[in-house]
Amino acid sequence: MSIFAAMLVQTASIYGLKRSDYDGLLSRGWFRGNGIVYRSEVVCIDGDVFGIRNIRYPVGSFSMRRSHRKLFTANNKRFTVRIGTPHCDEQRENLYQELTHRFKAFVHESLNGLLLSPRTCVEFDTMEIAVYDGSELIAASYIDVGDRSMASILCIYSQKYKSYSLGIYTMLLEMDLAKRLGLDFYYPGYVLDQPSAFDYKLLLGPCEWLTWKQTWSQNTSDADPGKGEVIRTKLAMAETILKAAGYSPKRVIYPYYTLGHLLIERPDLVRVPSYLVIQTSVGVLAVSYDLQMDSYICFDLRPAQDLDFVQSLKLSNDYRQGDSYELNPLICTFFHRLRIDSFIEDLNHIISILKHADYLA
């Protein structure tokens, strides 16, 4: 039985995925990753936890804004665009490495590792839209094409050509291709429940938002707010209670929470994306909020000794430079509920039990 109940990440094998199946997953907020398809409720970046808000654009009704039409026309005259099958070479790898400092969370060491991950027996196509200035590759975007949908996977571009808005330009090229292929929907990825660098995906025009009912709406107010706001609010309340009781809680963001959802055979892995650390008479304890149980919980924190493979993951600048992250996998050996109307009393009771059990954190 899992110590933490809330499933913030769902995963499935990409093996044998059909075009229509891929369309269906995209329509329910799933994405393609490194050899898997997954759905995530939250993301840990910029020193906090944010909810994911899924968006898409209906292709048939899409019309470029005047500024975008001007950019599209000018860049089409200035550059050469080639559409084909993805491959990795020195030019593409250099563009990828040039942009890795801007990526959030965990970073793939190479474009090859990200782009050409195992995709056994899948029916949907992955395509490349390459932009050249003469013989020089200056941008490349990668898309998956299903039966009726297109999903944007990655865009890389040269910083020397920043004035040409290549990120927006490649999105317009992707949408134009979706129109020519007669597709219904274009999925540019997700935005967050707070303003962020991801909001460039909203610049194309009116989009549709995935609701909590798993339907799509053109009204922003109908969008599923995600779980980020709930987690932030609940932890802020717990922090206030703990401070009033004389504790000095420290907020921790834990990106490795995803391991607990991916490695289902390991119910001891910590699965919450954020928690509060407090120093008690029995050592360090953690307090967090479990979404599915709708309850605060108290648990211990211990290093996961047998997950050395995670050290091969490259950390983004955001992770390496942030002071609120815990960047080592953790396990816990116990957890107890904390009732909101007797929060401190329950916490003191847990500490008392641990004292009698000679617990040493």
- Summarised one tens digit per residue, pLDDT across range 196-218 is 999 999 999 999 999 999 999 99
pLDDT: which is higher, 360 or 327: 327
Q: Which tens digit of pLDDT belongs to each residue from 127-156?
A: 999 999 999 999 999 999 999 999 999 999
Angle of helix 166-180 relative to helix 66-78, nearest 10 degrees? 90
CB 150 within 8 A of CB 184: no
User: Average pLDDT for residues 74-95, to the nearest whole number?
Assistant: 94
pLDDT at 119: 55
Q: Which residues contact 68 (CB under 8 A, 6 or more apart)?
A: 168, 172, 204
Mean pLDDT of the region 47-72:
96
Q: Average pLDDT of the chain?
A: 90
Count other C-beta atoms under 10 Å from residue 93's C-beta: 14
Which pLDDT value is given to residue 311? 62
Among 10-24, 112-126, 265-279, 332-346, name the one with the lowest average pLDDT.
Answer: 112-126
Position 66 scores a pLDDT of 96
Burial environment of residue 263 by CB neighbours within 10 A (0 to 12, 13 to 18, 19 or more): middle
Q: Range with the lowest mean pLDDT among 62-66, 113-117, 129-133?
A: 113-117
Per-residue confidence band for 312, with pLDDT thresholds at 50, 70 and 90: low
Give buried/exposed letters for 30-48 (b at 16+ CB in 10 A, else e): bbbeeebbbbbbbbbbbeb
64 within 8 A of 143, measured Cβ to Cβ = no
Comparing C-alpha atoms, which of 62, 63, 54, 67 is closest to residue 26?
A: 54
State what percent of residues in the chain have pLDDT above 70.
94
Domain ranges of the chain: 9-222, 228-356
Report the pLDDT averaged over residues 155-167.
95
* In contact, 39 and 262? CB cutoff 8 Å: no
Higher pLDDT, 116 or 175: 175
pLDDT at 263: 85
Higher pLDDT, 170 or 86: 170
pTM above 0.75, yes or no: yes
pLDDT value at position 117?
Answer: 55
- Whether the predicted pLDDT of 254 surpasses 70: yes
> Which numeric CATH code is attached to 9-222?
3.40.630.30
Longest distance between any two alpha carbons in the chain, whole Å: 77
- Is the per-residue pLDDT at 92 higher than 80? yes
- The confidence band for 1, taking pLDDT boundaries of 50, 70 and 90, is very low
223 C-beta neighbours (distance < 10 Å), count: 21
pLDDT of 359: 58
Query: pLDDT band for position 3 (50/70/90)?
Result: very low
Indicate whether 262 pLDDT > 90.
no
